A and B are shown apart, each in its own frame.
Chain A
């Protein structure tokens, strides 16, 4: 009884409760700042070229990339839920699935870049917006994959459990944020111009 009421014990309990909350607040503030960055790039597309878009956009590939990223979001969600319930086997499988799907997304972006360079180079009005936005997003996907890889490896080594899975929650939240930004970028670049 005396152990639980010493100042050290009280401080330790308070810190254990407080730190994940502080981490969550920090991550949300970081994501808010990232939202401003993406918003600036998205709004620049409308400022320089309105809703005009070239005819040669690869709509099929863009839709496929959107569905790939959506699929990776559900696998990331499953990975986080698995670790929160101490199901390590499912965690490993779903984290790897998320990483592979993210890598496939980047391959698709590479193909899209290759096609776009001939159809609307980066020195055209639409091309500058296109390459800036897709490039910015792809860079976030790349950093997300690297972070997922680190957390997957640490999880594989037994660093996390149901009572200590903040890093998993954090990296998965970041991954969902990358998906969230694509929800805005996809129509901005591919759909607003109409058929």
Chain B
């Protein structure tokens, strides 16, 4: 029982991290859209958004830092 509750707590922690990341990605996407539609020639302004969003997906969702050891990510 205590193992199960410990596992549930671990799952909740992982899922919370996922929601936080998804929220950050959604905010970045909306700000990116606003910048693109209000700034003339916005290419350079948009590059940081692409890098930030890509970095979040790579690190949190794809566990890219596990490449160093090739261990699993979400366990």
- Which A residues are closer than 8 A to B by beta carbons? 20-21, 24-25, 28, 51, 59, 63, 66-67, 70-71, 73-74, 76-78, 80-82, 84-87, 90, 162, 165-166, 169, 173, 176-177, 179-180, 183-184, 187, 190-192, 194-195
Chain A residues whose CB sits within 8 angstroms of the CB of B33 once the complex forms: 59, 63, 191
9 shortest interchain CB distances as A-B pairs: A191-B36, A21-B70, A74-B22, A85-B11, A84-B74, A77-B18, A176-B61, A81-B14, A84-B75
Interchain nearest-CB distance for A178 vs B (Å)? 10
Chain A residues whose CB sits within 8 angstroms of the CB of B57 once the complex forms: 73, 176, 179-180, 183
- Identity of the chain B residue whose Cβ is nearest the Cβ of A177 in the assembled complex: B62
Interchain CB contact under 8 A, B54 and A85: no
- Identity of the chain A residue whose Cβ is nearest the Cβ of B57 in the assembled complex: A180
- Identity of the chain B residue whose Cβ is nearest the Cβ of A175 in the assembled complex: B61
Which residue, of B32, B54, B57, has the highest number of chain A Cβ atoms within 10 A? B57
Chain A residues whose CB sits within 8 angstroms of the CB of B62 once the complex forms: 173, 176-177, 180
CB pairs A–B below 8 angstroms (10 shown): A21-B70, A24-B67, A59-B37, A74-B21, A77-B22, A80-B74, A81-B11, A85-B75, A192-B36, A195-B36
**Assembly CA distance A155 to B54 (angstroms):** 29
Chain A residues whose CB sits within 8 angstroms of the CB of B67 once the complex forms: 24, 28
Chain B residues whose CB sits within 8 angstroms of the CB of A77 once the complex forms: 15, 18, 22, 60-61, 74
Interchain CB contact under 8 A, A85 and B10: yes
Interface residues of B in 1-31 (CB under 8 A from A): 7-8, 10-11, 14-15, 18-19, 21-22, 25-26, 29
- Which B residues are closer than 8 A to A by beta carbons? 7-8, 10-11, 14-15, 18-19, 21-22, 25-26, 29, 32-33, 36-43, 46, 49-50, 53-54, 57-58, 60-63, 66-67, 70-75
**Assembly CA distance A25 to B24 (angstroms):** 28
Interchain CB contact under 8 A, A85 and B32: no
Interchain CB contact under 8 A, B53 and A169: no
Chain A residues whose CB sits within 8 angstroms of the CB of B66 once the complex forms: 24
Looking at the complex, which one of A82, A85, A169 makes contact with B73 (CB distance below 8 Å)? A169
Interchain nearest-CB distance for B46 vs A (Å)? 5
Interchain CB contact under 8 A, B46 and A169: no
Interchain nearest-CB distance for A146 vs B (Å)? 20
Which residue, of A70, A71, A162, has the highest number of chain B Cβ atoms within 10 A? A70
